[in-house]
Structure 1
């Protein structure tokens, strides 16, 4: 496409996105961003319209987690931008490359309020505290610089969300823009050879090693599996690390950092190698781990070496590169752990929550049996997801499990599934949610219908906010505000142009899920749960 000396700010935004390979944006047109929308088709960028900006943010998040490429969302000013704030907070918590672009007040807008439509004191100040940075540009030429800055962050460090604000008068103004700026490819940091050698020597001498893998290890699946085998080291993951190594592997403990039995076992390890994980309360569901052995941490973010549990040995760099270096340097480990020992630990772990989790297991088993190995599963902050699917629905590296960890937003599963399906229409994508969480973003059933691709949404219905109900009961309080009137969610899906079913047995769920995977549009499948009167064993989740 021939370059012109003067282009509008709206075109400069779209041109910069196209230069970085953006092929799809999520957003809602508004009075102040129409000049940007004018140019999307000209630059070959597709657009999907969610029903709420929070849904746009979660959809872009799901797109990013599934593809490994940045997700892009466009809002208009004021309330629209604030609507996406929760999704930006979730992306920050889970290290997701999310770019949010919005108009802002005009360049020379007075600080004194004038009552301009969608006016607020400072959008950039608001987002500076929830994103990696918020950049307000002051010229058309600066737009390309700001977008390149965002993509440089995404590909050279710990990926986190970015907000770029374009003054609304600048969107319509034609100015010199120069050649498109493209983020340079930069090498990840790499630990010094002597640091790798020291860590390899410690690992090679370990008799009771363990691996903890987080979301930062996702690109290191093969190396992590090979290193675990060489060390004879069992592997436990965080929620974001789910499926980095096959959960069917004999050395895998799956998502079990929250298990008291596994935490006690980790205390006794002489060496723990933690890769791409914060070891945070949201991973542990409790206070900090107590480790008596040497802690080796591998992370792209140097700050993680001092967060939570400080590293005894710190290896700053890309997880895949560092683990491959360790694999080349470490000798065969005389570790005592065997698959039989891991099986014994699993046997000690599972009874801790057996009575609580039993209601979900038969349904999760059939979900796994129906889905393809490379299926993408999204989940919500729902009991059936963090108590049920995270530890009990196995995922291997070809698939993905997307969960809103840390920030813990509700309403993530459905729009994230839309983003994943839009990114990979040929792959199976299934959303898991609860009735309370789904209703935070249930309007996105309209978006899923518009997308026109098969998208099952399995909803475990416990009559409201089950976790908070259980916490109130555990405190000895009478439940208040947690019991929601029953909603016919399958009928609501049909009202949006989708499909719905209500099942009560695993066999019925299997049949409904198989049908939903080949039926265009969303299919909401509800699984009613009996509301338990008992206090859960881990009511402080």
Structure 2
């Protein structure tokens, strides 16, 4: 006689089968049968309950972004889904496999517009607009197949977030326990030998090639470094590509240095990158530039058409290039790259006080530690001034650039990497978006070091209103709490420091503690030097 299980239990069992070990979220009426199934899963599924749905989504994002594995969260339908929507947008923009599990109103009332609790006009359509894939489980027998299908689409090709919903009455529906299918990523496309040959022909005639890497190349660092060494070409990156080739590798160029080299580049090799830096930040192309792209997403070859497009996994595509170029020899150029990095560092050394504080953090953060940026003066500067030594160690929000993701995301990073140091940097404005999750950090003993740089403003807005709108300030000044007192009220060990040297000492102490720590750094309002001339440099004039 077959054992019986509910839809909720089947989903929980399927999550375990797909390698999920943690679910973030907030319980609620529509989800009770699923919540109970999570309880029944025991130590197979850890449940981290948060104080806001956005926090749950971002913690799942941090888990996924720092590991490459599925980060799962659960919220109630309607407002719960919408509250977590910013995290799904971030996961979509940064290609992270975040899975949202939610409910819906009673199945026979969906689409009737009766005004049921948490009803949306078309929740499934809403989720499909901000996720790579979203599906509904209509019956207990569909739980395993629907979940495995969603996971398969999330992990195949360009990764992205997925969502599943089940009506309120379906979660508790009982049926036979059956073997559950396990979704896996679809096979990677085969490398096209003709395209590789065309790429080799372009590279063979190049005098100054450059390699640009993005988040899609996170697992291809060794191959990319080998290609750079073979070609004596520099490698650079913007946000998600940081650390894929370590900053101290002799062929890595900080992107401020890379901009100078860009002036003479004749072949650009983009690997797992949208090439945002070159086409949206630098905004001009060297004369005669040829572009080669290696990307698993074929639509990238349409969005930004290259001379040669190799649709392939970054690791396989790069290795195919290496194999085809075997035997080529180039004069060592690493001293040239070192000089470019040195000159760039000298040029942006005036971005203060950000640089001094970032240097202090880097000095004490272990080489394999995680650094979670935030949309702030420190975060913007970190994109070019904070060295990173391994893939996924610099956690960014990608092109969404949304306030408030940082601290919440860092909690998910720490849950996924309990033995690694995790430092979160935020501005005062961004931190207040998720300040309630200090309670989550304390309750679940999540030992993140949260550093708040408090300039009592939305700093970028303040600067723009001063420079472009003649000081017509609107909504950019902020009145803040005493962050140290606030942290202590949550039970978080909290400090205030006023210099980079002091920050270094306090971080060293915090790293020795296995508990959450908050550090406030007061910064004079409007005093930060703008990092933007280095992110959006002036167009080159021949």
TM-score range, shorter chain: over 0.9
Q: CA deviation at 1:333?
A: 5.0
| 1:180 and 2:172 are equivalent in the alignment | no
The alignment partner of 2:494 has SS state of strand
The CA RMSD measured in Å over matched residues stands at 2.2
The alignment partner of 1:285 has SS state of helix
1:279 match: 275
Distance 1:264 1:510 in 2: 32
CA contact 2:2–2:176 (8 Å) conserved in 1? no
Q: Give CA deviations for 1:102-152 in whole Å, capped at 9, x if unaligned.
A: 001221105332222111211111111111122122211222112101221
For residues 59-458 of structure 1, what are the structure 2 equivalents within 5 Å?
59-109=59-109, 111-176=111-176, 178-184=178-184, 186-254=186-254, 256=255, 259=256, 262-263=258-259, 265-280=261-276, 284-285=280-281, 287=283, 289=285, 292-307=288-303, 309-331=304-326, 338-350=333-345, 353-355=348-350, 357-387=351-381, 389-397=382-390, 400-458=393-451
Distance 1:184 1:437 in 2: 36
TM-score of the superposition, structure 2-length normalised? Answer: 0.93
Distance 1:399 1:174, change over 3 A: closer
Distance 2:184 2:406 in 1: 34
Distance 2:531 2:359 in 1: 22
Q: Give CA deviations for 1:388-432 in whole Å, capped at 9, x if unaligned.
A: x22111111277010112011111111111111111111111111
Distance 1:290 1:100, change over 3 A: farther
Distance 1:318 1:212 in 2: 15
TM-score of the superposition, structure 1-length normalised? Answer: 0.93
1:24 to 22, 33, 40: 22
Distance 1:103 1:195 in 2: 46
Count of residues in correspondence between the two structures? 532
CA contact 1:415–1:441 (8 Å) conserved in 2? yes
Distance 1:243 1:98, change over 3 A: same
Q: Which runs of 5+ in 1 are unaligned?
A: none
Distance 1:509 1:241 in 2: 27
Distance 1:3 1:348, change over 3 A: farther
Distance 1:473 1:170 in 2: 55
Distance 1:527 1:185, change over 3 A: closer
| 1:538 and 2:536 are equivalent in the alignment | no
2:500 to 506, 510, 513: 506
Q: CA deviation at 1:230?
A: 1.0
Q: Which moved more, 1:89-98 or 1:286-295?
A: 286-295
Distance 1:199 1:436 in 2: 46
Distance 1:243 1:188, change over 3 A: same
| 1:472 and 2:470 are equivalent in the alignment | no
CA contact 1:60–1:71 (8 Å) conserved in 2? yes
Distance 1:286 1:510 in 2: 34
Q: Give CA deviations for 1:442-469 in whole Å, capped at 9, x if unaligned.
A: 1111111122142211111111100011
Distance 1:461 1:73 in 2: 31
The alignment partner of 1:297 has SS state of strand
Distance 1:158 1:399 in 2: 16
1:47 match: 47
Q: Which moved more, 1:326-335 or 1:490-499?
A: 326-335
Distance 2:355 2:508 in 1: 18
The alignment partner of 1:164 has SS state of strand
Q: CA deviation at 1:505?
A: 1.5
For residues 492-503 of structure 1, what are the structure 2 equivalents within 5 Å?
492-503=486-497
CA contact 1:490–1:523 (8 Å) conserved in 2? no
Distance 1:537 1:411, change over 3 A: closer
CA contact 1:454–1:521 (8 Å) conserved in 2? yes
Q: Give CA deviations for 1:20-65 in whole Å, capped at 9, x if unaligned.
A: 1211100000011010011124332110011111111110011112
Q: Which runs of 5+ in 2 are unaligned?
A: 537-542
